[in-house]
Chains A and B, each alone.
Chain A
Amino acid sequence: MNMLITLFLTFFKIGIFSYGGGYVMLPMIYQELNRFGLTMQEFSDVVAISQMTPGPIAVNAATYIGFKTAGFAGAAFATFGVSLPSFILIMIISSLFVKFKSSNIINSAFKGIRPATVGMIASAVVFFANTSVIDMSLIDQGLGKIFNMGSIMIFALTIAGSKLTKLDPISLTLIGGILGVIFL
């Protein structure tokens, strides 16, 4: 029961403070992983899979972490938690839309939140890269050891594929996985 409440509260908090799309909440979830006994690598697997499954990353992450920690009920509590802020906020805002739109203080706050979220997504890249492209735990063996050449190649190919072809993220991720099976 305690775990269910922890799941609900953690994801409720994440729901309240995530702004600007699913990737922004990744650093928040990374920082809470210890609480649920998940490794960074396992969570990154879930996010990577979320690129290929339908629906918002936030719901996918909440469902998986909830399920892993406390079964079906855990999945339900975490997902409910991450969605509830939306429900409450929309109920409030839909009744005072005019005020919200013209509020100066909210507009100025967003001027600072927006660049902050860019920094947060950039940190998500670092957390994420640390589970594939680089492995900082090997730094004792020398700087050269931390790079995984195969993964760097997949990383570069994904960027090239996204810039030069019309492949969508699902295909790009899938290709990355297949290349991984063949070359890593």
Chain B
Amino acid sequence: MDRKKIIKLFSVFFKIGAFTFGGGYAILPVIQKEVVDKNNWLTEEEILDIFAISQSIPGVISINSAIYIGKKVAGIPGAVSAGLGMILPSFIVILAIAPLIINLRDNEIVGRFFTGIRASASALILLAAIKMSKTAIREKWGIAVAAASFVLVVFLDVHAIWVIIGGAASGIIYSLFEKRRRSCK
């Protein structure tokens, strides 16, 4: 019984990993459909909780979700099987095209194609940053943190890990000040 579920978890997440393009946020609705509607593994409420946690901890959002769902449905073997299913398609695709990229980058026409997709990708990443700023930045203080992290990484070459740690520290300090200000009033 459980063994069947473990295999099914692998195949469902393999399919999701193979056919969903565009990263974490595009994948979540597809996962929801497969896990809640098609396989009745979890309830709507459970899956929303899982998505909320997967987005609020470090790591790749889609892999976090797959592992969490696998764990809930079939314990640790389920977690491994769902996680592997999610990871393997992109692993295989990149292994297949890596030699092509390595060998063809110097070709002139391919080079122009790559310059074109790099320009497009910069635009897409800029749009992602703008979209994310709308939910992530709610007050003036947030703008300062975002600006500081940009300057630190781009101009001062501070390692991005320290910027994340600094962001966390600033959030904790800010909350402490808020609390004190409120208790003073």
Chain A residues with a Cβ under 8 A of chain B: 13, 15-23, 25-28, 31, 41-42, 44-49, 51-60, 63-64, 67-68, 72, 75, 79, 82-83, 85-87, 89-91, 93-94, 97, 100-101, 104-105, 107-129, 131-133, 148, 150-152, 154-156, 158-159, 162, 168-170, 172-181, 184
Contact = CB atoms under 8 A, between A and B. Distances in A.
Contact of B91 (A49, A63, A89, A177): A63
Which of A18, A101, A121, A129 has the most chain B CB atoms closer than 10 A to its own CB?
Answer: A121
Interface size class of B (residues with CB under 8 A): 35 or more
Contact of A72 (B95, B137, B161, B171): B95
Given A31-B160, A67-B95, A122-B129, A178 B116 contact: yes
A156 B68 CA distance: 39
Nearest to B132: A118
Contact of A23 (B86, B91, B128, B152): B128
B170 A112 contact: yes
The 4 closest A-B pairs by CB, nearest first: A180-B116, A55-B90, A112-B171, A176-B120
Interface in B37-54: 49, 53
Nearest to B18: A54
B58 A63 contact: no
A94 B91 contact: no
Which of B132, B157, B165, B176 has the most chain A CB atoms closer than 10 A to its own CB?
Answer: B132
Contacts of B122: 125, 128-129, 132-133, 155
Contact of B93 (A41, A55, A128, A156): A55
A98 B33 CA distance: 26
A177 B116 contact: yes
Contact of B58 (A17, A112, A116, A180): A17
Contacts of A59: 60, 63, 87, 90-91, 94
A18 B57 contact: no
A7 to B, nearest CB: 14
A21 B55 CA distance: 8
A15 B58 contact: yes
Contacts of B21: 51-54, 168-170
Interface in B150-185: 150-154, 157, 159-161, 163-172, 174-176
Contacts of B60: 15, 18, 22, 56, 58-59, 82-83, 86
B67 A86 contact: yes
Contacts of A55: 17-18, 20, 86-87, 89-91, 93
B118 A48 contact: yes
A72 B98 CA distance: 11
B147 to A, nearest CB: 7
Interface in B102-139: 102, 105, 109, 112-129, 132-133, 135-137
